[in-house]
Amino acid sequence: MENALRNLAVALALTGVLLCLIGVAIRLLNLRQHNRKAELLICIAAGALLWHALVYVMIYTGVIRAFPNLYNKGIPFYYLIGPATFYATQFSLFPHSKYPKYWWLHLLPFVLGVIDVMPYAMAPLTEKQALLDEVVQDMKMGVLHQFGYIDQKWHYILRFFLAFVYLMAQWRLIYVHDGRFSPLAPSVKSYMVWYACFYSLHLLMQTSLVLSLLFNQLQSSFIMRDVYQVIWVSLFYFVFSLWIFISALYRPLGSYALKDVQA
């Protein structure tokens, strides 16, 4: 039973990664001028999420040992998911809005993340492999390792806290947007509402796992491998990826906006 669930979780995550990848690729190929910013930001968020899922699966299955240079690269990008999603919503619902003057403040966690992954990136291959051997054996080591300037668990705490704040702001934008006085087609808003829903569910599931880890740090290694918890995260990521894929294939953001704005 556990093995079957474990295989299912991996299969769902990998399928999600694939769907996400195709969705991102289609979006990038169909970029149009008026929706460029929003779609690019969605691509950044989806790309970071798919990387996260891919690396997790690689650790879970032990494949990461063959690719030590792929490990510990995504931390800065995970910080971008929140702001990218927020601004994608803003630029979709309020096309005339601009980046704020101090937009680069949103990149500060990203920069900190880049600095923090440097020690691992610069480490000799043997050390990387030794760490990955430990991480695969005991996933807790992914948080406890010393390749970084700060305690790695703070990345999880900060990232999900920021993501939660951005998510709230994202929902506020959706609420504030009044279709009666907007030149945009109503479908643009429903597009962003769906996006926010799937992203929220995925984020809630992931954050609940992180909370579970924080409140039971003793068993963090077990929790990260507990198939009964991982399967839900995997499932919700799959649903999110499915939306990324389907929306890119059939009803990308540009097609609504372009048609309605012209109308």
Partner 1 sequence: MFVCGLGSCFAKSPYRQVRVLDGIDKEHSMFSRAAKDPAGMIWAVAGGELFRYDGVHVLSFAKLYPGRLPFDEIQDLTIDPWGRLWLNTRNGLLIFDLATWQFCDEQPYAQRLHQHKAIGFAEVKGDFFMATDRGEVFQITATGKEFLFSFDYTKGLGRTPVGRLFVADEEGVWLAINGRLYHYDRKREKRRLCAIPSRIFDKLEDLLPLKGGLLLRNYRDGYYIYDGRHFVLSRFRSTNENDFTNWNHWAFAEGDRLRFFHQKGRYSEHTRDLSLTKMNEGDHRLAEEILYKRLNNWQRSGDEWLLSTDQGLYAVFPAEVSFDFIECGSARGMVKQQGQYFIGGYGHLHLLSPAGGLRAFIEAPEKNYYAFFSLAPDTAIAVIEGEFLGYLQHGRYVPAPITVDLKYRDQFSTMAYCASRFDKETMLVGTANGIWKYTLRSGRVTPLLDRDGRIAGEGMRVLSIRYENGLLSFSGEDGYFVYRQMRVEKLYPLDHAHLAIYDHVCDQSKVYLATKGRGLVVLDKGTASVFRVEQGLSSNIVYQLFNYNGTIFAGTHRGLSVITQNKIYNYHIADGLPFEEFNHKALYHDDAKGKLFMGGTQGYVAFDPQELLQVAERDFAATPTVSSMHIGMRTNLFQHNYAWLQLRDTMELPRDAVMFTLDFARVNHYRQGYAMHYKIEPLMDGYQEMPVSNQINLSGMTAGEYRIFVQVSPSNTARTQTWSWLVKKPPVFMETQGFYFLLLLGAGAITTYVLFERNRRKKNEKLLRRQISSDLHDEVGSLLTGISMQADLLMLRGEAPMQESVLSIGKFSREATQMMDDIVWSIDGRNNYQGSLEDRIKFLAANMLEPLGAQIVFDVLIDYDKSLRQIVRQQVYLLFKEMLHNICKHAQPSRIDILLHVQHGELRLRVSNNGLIAHAENRKWRTGQGMANMEARVNQIGGTISRWMEQECFVIELKVPSRRSKVRWSALHKLDK
Task: Residue 179: name the closest of 93, 53, 257 by CA.
Answer: 93
Q: State the CB neighbour count (10 A cutoff) for residue 124.
A: 8
- Which position has the token pair 């080591």? 141
Residues 13-52 as x/- pattern, contact with partner 1 by CB under 8 A: ----------------------------------------
Tell me 262's DSSP state.
H
Minimal distance, residue 5 CB to partner 1, in Å: 14
Is the Cβ of residue 49 or residue 163 nearer to partner 1 in the bound state? 163
The DSSP secondary structure of 36-52, one letter per residue, reads HHHHHHHHHHHHHHHHH
Among positions 227-246, residues that touch partner 1 (CB under 8 A) are 229, 232
Is the Cβ of residue 181 or residue 250 nearer to partner 1 in the bound state? 181
Minimal distance, residue 100 CB to partner 1, in Å: 6
Q: State the CB neighbour count (10 A cutoff) for residue 133.
A: 15
Does residue 1 interact with partner 1 by CB under 8 A? Answer: no
Does residue 115 interact with partner 1 by CB under 8 A? Answer: no
Among 62, 100, 179, 186, binds partner 1 (CB under 8 A): 100
Does residue 98 interact with partner 1 by CB under 8 A? Answer: yes
Exposed/middle/buried for residue 249 (C-beta within 10 Å: 0-12, 13-18, 19+): middle
Is the Cβ of residue 178 or residue 250 nearer to partner 1 in the bound state? 178
Q: Report how far Cα 101 is from the mean position of its chain's Cα atoms.
A: 25
Rounded Cα distance between 52 and 224, Å, is 14
The DSSP secondary structure of 149-177, one letter per residue, reads SS-THHHHHHHHHHHHHHHHHHHHHHHH-
Is the Cβ of residue 81 or residue 117 nearer to partner 1 in the bound state? 81
Find the radius of gyration of the CA atoms of the chain.
19
Is the Cβ of residue 81 or residue 112 nearer to partner 1 in the bound state? 81
Among positions 155-214, residues that touch partner 1 (CB under 8 A) are 164, 167-168, 171-172, 175-176, 178, 181, 200, 204-205, 207-209, 211-212
In the complex, which residues of this chain contact partner 1 (CB under 8 A)? Answer: 98, 100-101, 140, 164, 167-168, 171-172, 175-176, 178, 181, 200, 204-205, 207-209, 211-212, 215-216, 218-219, 221-223, 226, 229, 232
